[in-house]
Amino acid sequence: MEKVAVMGVGQTSFEREKDDTFEEMVFEAVQAALSDAGGKIGDIDNVLTVSNDFWDGRTISSMSVMYAAGAWDKDVSTVEGDGIFGAIYGAMRTLAGSFDTTLVVAHAKGSMGRMNLITNGMFDPIYQRPLGIDATMAAALQARCYMERTGATEEDFASVSVKNHRNGCRNPHVHLGMELSIEDVLRSRKISDPLKLYDCSPISDGAAAVVLANERGAKRFAQKPAWIRGMGHCSDSYTLGYRDLANTRALQAASRKAYGMAGIADPLKELDVVELYDAYSYMELLWYEGLGLAAEGRGAELMMSGATCMGGDLPVNPSGGVLSAHPVLVAGLARLAEAVLQVRGDAGERQVAGAKTALAHGINGACGQAHGVIVIGT
Amino acid sequence: MADRKTGQTELLYVTSGDMYQPYSYSLGRLGAEFLNTIKEEKRFLGARCPGCNRVYVPPRSVCGRCHMKMEELVPVSDEGEIVACAIIEFGFVDPNTGIARPVPYGTAFIRLDGADTALPHFLDSVDREKVKVGARVKAVFEETRTGKIMDIKHFALIDQYRRPGGSNGFSVE
Amino acid sequence: MGKRAAIVGFGQTKGSSSRKDVNGIEMIHEAVSAALADAELGIEDIDAVVIGNMDHFEGINYVDMWSVEGSGGVMKPIIKVTTGGTTGTTVAMCAYYHVASGLFDRVLAIGWEKNSESDTTGAIITAYDPIWERPNMAGAIGGLAVDASRYMHDHGVTERDGARVTVRDRLNALNNPYAHLRQEWMRGKDVATLVDLLVSSEENQVLAYPLRMSDLCPRTDAAAALIFASEDVAETIAPVPAWVLAVANRHNTVYYGDLDWSLNETLEAASRQAFAKVGIREPLKEIDVCELYLPYSYAGLAWIESIGFCGPGEGRRLLWDGVTDMDGEIPMNPSGGVMSSNPIGATGVIRVGEAAIQIMGKAGLRQLNRDVKIAMATGFGGCYWADVLLLGKNKPL
């Protein structure tokens, strides 16, 4: 089978209440990705945009960024979901024989809408919405389920927050890099028990873009390729009551597919760095298990071992993760961008020494209903 | 109401209530300057592409054809030509206000003199003989302006049917 | 190089103004079950799912997640794609790329909409730019009326010409049991009489001058699903698969005001690209049937010019000469088209499905009385988003 590489990545800064229009953010991310790839818009055969009508506050939200995405007179489509799914579909289009290169760009300005109203809109309108449920309340239910099943504690969750916010200090794109103590997290304002302020990601604005190419297309760019070695995606059931919220079967399926393609048997040993979607602190522990980095119920143990800290055996979220900046829909593509920088050795102050193989992860829906995983390597 | 004997149940809807999703849309520098200039000076500006020289109204920051950033604003006229139009007669609830928009009304895409693109707006007429492609119009501004596109009250049809040397070469009637 | 892919199954629900008897998930399930039955497959045979609709039409965020219990996407890869009116054709293209990538052998493509559950005009108004265009646009009807004004002005077209398109599609719909608008009163009447009736009837009110009610598509509740299969399995599933020969699309502009109203340049460019891929030089002669996304009557004149079935301003002649009728050289919309059913997110899926069943020989009463070798389907949406698919009976080289 043909191979697909990420040839360039671009990210805007992620912050609250950015003044830029959707168009300006997307243009900046696209220019950055093209410049990183060492190419021009003319090297791009087709374009995929990623956006969501609720988060953008308009119908057909991708229309506003057509110029900025460089879609003029090109084939173009739109994925509505996290950016990692945009990258997965982009890779399919690049493999299909129609295009040698694909530009994928995601944008969101979540801080300009109301997160609780927008995410209330993803719950069942007849039975669940009247309860006022939103993404954070659902996450609290999941966190509690996870604690009950594994014995993980609020201190365990807090340690994820401390690690990722600390890592964020070394990433110029994020806005919530900070030094926190476990105590700071535990004492922060209760949002939805057991989740406190520093267990929750901020809602940030920004855009990210990646340039994908098959082997033929890769020759158009000066940058060295970061090859997609495996990818997978999978959705669990919708209704929260139909799911075991502390079970990660969809992530297991998605990551096993990706590992199978990449020939990875022991991810904890074979991966050098992981960028995962920690929308809430506890999620990182749960996703460790889904990704096969820790045995079921042992996520907290892996965290407390220090293996996932900078300098550990498998640093997770050296970028600061989603806890340090959460541009919804963009965040999964930003994970991929960070994974690419790591395997190229271009991650600056947040570089994991000698990283050769990295994993990027994104989620869709409440409590990580669906997962997308990409394994990237030099 | 359910009738267990016949298995018949009255079918129901649940409404979303007054679901409302407030949102703030930033205009960027060019869009803000466009509306501020209308508000303060009752004049129109367009963004000029450094690549193809097209003038875009309303101004925006990227020329799609050239994939180039636009920075320069140039003045365009408050008069222009209808490039496409309609007279809306059906009633509907305006999602901008939540109330029925008064009908009938004339609406058109208007290419202002000096611009290459068209701005949609209301017309002051519902006369099928006058609301036509190629008709000349002039902006009428609100007395109190707040920095919104509705600071332009509407475009008024003006007598001149086409400007000299206009797109179809008609002369002034 | 990618794999060849074909359509091996199609299912749709009957179009209706209100499917109050089912919720959206149940309606999706109906279409998926019909498509699986058509292909004689079970949901366990499906490797991946693609779905699309417009969020604000039903007010549901993350529809791909919400609908998994109906779509069959539980514990499967699922992606949502959404491009406005083109959503259905975009979904079909996405499923095609899934298969062509070599990663999946059997992929389900689903489109759906329950327009009865929302205010369609209100939702469409929010597709216009919120700062510049939303305050004065009037949904699809206003936008299309504006479009009509320009074409009528440029080519001296009359309302009789528009009505001729409506009459063709609504007569065809009488052969389609799934069509929403089946106007039995039209049956057996000749075309000229029906055109006269439409343009003179007082009941046929003007909604947005120059458009009357009969120039516009209905609001429909329906779902539709397609199954795409790779060259490795397609012929074992369907005796006559509908092979995908080409997919192409364009969407250039951000604002309606940036369009060149005198032509449909996106449809023109997408058609050119698809024809070049297949080697079609004379579309009128080489294509056997078209399912065109015509959201209103005059598009049936203007856009067949953009595709290249005739020159600028000649669409009217093709219509009146009967070239696009069921027994004409290039029959258009044997299904009755969008003018007879418009469940927006499903509409494009239905265009592709209806084109496919003409090739597969499964179109029942609306089956063309000829050997259909190449069928074309289009999608229209957004700011002139144009999707083009070409399907063929012969496996591509």
Does C170 fall in a domain? no
pLDDT of A296 strictly over 50: yes
**B19, B90, B121 member nearest C136 (Cβ):** B121
Whole-number average pLDDT of chain A: 97
> How far apart are the C-alpha atoms of A105 and A30, rounded to whole Å?
7
Does B172 fall in a domain? no
Could you tell me which chain B residue has the CA closest to the CA of A28?
B69
pLDDT of B6 strictly over 80: no
Does B68 fall in a domain? yes
pLDDT of A8 strictly over 80: yes
pLDDT digits (tens, 9 = 90+) for A88-99: 999 999 999 999
Could you tell me which chain A residue has the CA closest to the CA of C117?
A125
pLDDT of A328 strictly over 70: yes
C chain contacts of residue A89, beta-carbon cutoff 8 Å: 79, 81, 94, 97
Q: What is the mean pLDDT of residues C52-68?
A: 92
> How far apart are the C-alpha atoms of C285 and C318, rounded to whole Å?
13
> How far apart are the C-alpha atoms of C155 and B148, rounded to whole Å?
36
A240/chain C closest Cα distance in angstroms: 11
Q: Which chains form contacts with chain A, at 3 or more CB pairs under 8 Å?
A: B, C
Q: Which residues of A touch B (CB under 8 A)?
A: 18-21, 23-24, 27, 41, 54, 57, 66-68, 70-72, 109, 112-114, 117-118, 121, 125-126, 129
CB of C381 within 8 Å of a chain A CB? The answer is: yes
Q: What is the pLDDT of residue B1?
A: 58
Q: Which structural domain, as residue segments, surrounds residue B129?
A: 28-157
Token pair, residue C116, equals 């009865």
pLDDT of A1 strictly over 90: no
Residues 74-103 (A) with a CB less than 8 A from some CB of C: 74-81, 85, 88-89, 91-93, 95-98
Does C224 fall in a domain? yes
pTM comes to: 0.96
A 10 A CB-CB count for C189 gives 12
CB of A63 within 8 Å of a chain C CB? The answer is: yes
Which segment of A117-131, A305-319, A356-370, B47-61 scores lowest on mean pLDDT?
A117-131
pLDDT digits (tens, 9 = 90+) for A354-368: 999 999 999 999 999
Q: How long a stretch of residues is chain C?
A: 397
Q: What is the pLDDT of residue B171?
A: 36
CA-based radius of gyration for chain B: 22
CB of B64 within 8 Å of a chain A CB? The answer is: yes
**B92, B117, B132 member nearest C257 (Cβ):** B117
Q: Do A67 and B28 touch (CB under 8 A)?
A: no
Residue B96 pLDDT grade (very low, low, confident, very high; cuts 50, 70, 90): confident
Q: What is the pLDDT of residue B18?
A: 66
Q: What is the mean pLDDT of residues A58-76?
A: 95
> How far apart are the C-alpha atoms of B38 and B41, rounded to whole Å?
5
Q: What is the pLDDT of residue B99?
A: 83
Q: Do C55 and A249 touch (CB under 8 A)?
A: no
> How far apart are the C-alpha atoms of C60 and A353, rounded to whole Å?
44
A310/chain C closest Cα distance in angstroms: 32
pLDDT digits (tens, 9 = 90+) for C307-342: 999 999 999 999 999 999 999 999 999 999 999 999
A39/chain B closest Cα distance in angstroms: 14
B148/chain A closest Cα distance in angstroms: 16
- Three-state DSSP state, A202: coil
pLDDT of B169 strictly over 90: no
Could you tell me which chain A residue has the CA closest to the CA of B17?
A130
A chain contacts of residue C111, beta-carbon cutoff 8 Å: none
A chain contacts of residue B95, beta-carbon cutoff 8 Å: none
Which segment of A18-22, B9-13, C118-122, C144-148 scores lowest on mean pLDDT?
C118-122
More confident residue, C382 or B112: B112
> How far apart are the C-alpha atoms of A4 and A342, rounded to whole Å?
18
Contact A219, A360 (CB under 8 A): no
Q: What is the mean pLDDT of residues A130-152?
A: 96
pLDDT digits (tens, 9 = 90+) for C235-277: 999 999 999 999 999 999 999 999 988 889 999 999 999 999 9
Look up the CATH number of the domain holding residue C56. Answer: 3.40.47.10
Q: What is the DSSP letter of C15?
A: P
Nearest to A378, CA basis, from A228, A182, A189, A199:
A228
Could you tell me which chain A residue has the CA closest to the CA of C96?
A96
pLDDT digits (tens, 9 = 90+) for C277-295: 999 999 999 999 999 999 9
pLDDT of B167 strictly over 90: no
Could you tell me which chain B residue has the CA closest to the CA of A20?
B28
Fold topology of A4-114+203-218: Peroxisomal Thiolase; Chain A, domain 1 (3.40.47)
Which segment of B39-48, B160-169, C99-108, C249-258 scores lowest on mean pLDDT?
B160-169
Token pair, residue B169, equals 């070469």
**Cis preceding linkage at C210, omega within 30:** yes
* Helix or strand run (H / E) with residue A109: strand A101-109
Q: What is the pLDDT of residue B139?
A: 98
**C21, C123, C207 member nearest B90 (Cβ):** C207
Does B7 fall in a domain? no
pLDDT of B19 strictly over 70: no
Q: What is the mean pLDDT of residues B54-73?
A: 97
A chain contacts of residue B61, beta-carbon cutoff 8 Å: 21, 23-24, 27, 68
pLDDT of C37 strictly over 70: yes
Nearest to B108, CA basis, from B126, B86, B135:
B86
Q: What is the pLDDT of residue B166?
A: 43
Q: What is the pLDDT of residue B17?
A: 67
Q: What total of structural domains would you count in chain B?
A: 1
A27/chain B closest Cα distance in angstroms: 8
Nearest to A146, CA basis, from A160, A165, A129, A128:
A160
- Three-state DSSP state, A234: strand
B chain contacts of residue C261, beta-carbon cutoff 8 Å: 83-84, 109, 118
pLDDT of C180 strictly over 80: yes
Q: What is the DSSP letter of B149?
A: G
C chain contacts of residue A72, beta-carbon cutoff 8 Å: 252
B31/chain C closest Cα distance in angstroms: 9
Residues 7-46 (B) with a CB less than 8 A from some CB of A: 14, 16, 19-28, 31
Q: Do A93 and C83 touch (CB under 8 A)?
A: no
Does C86 fall in a domain? yes
Q: What total of structural domains would you count in chain C?
A: 1
C239/chain B closest Cα distance in angstroms: 42
Which among C54, C103, C137 is the top mutation candidate for probing chain A, defined by the most A β-carbons within 10 Å of its own β-carbon? C103
CB of C130 within 8 Å of a chain B CB? The answer is: yes
Percent of chain A with pLDDT over 70: 100
Q: Do B117 and C255 touch (CB under 8 A)?
A: yes
Q: What is the DSSP letter of A86?
A: H
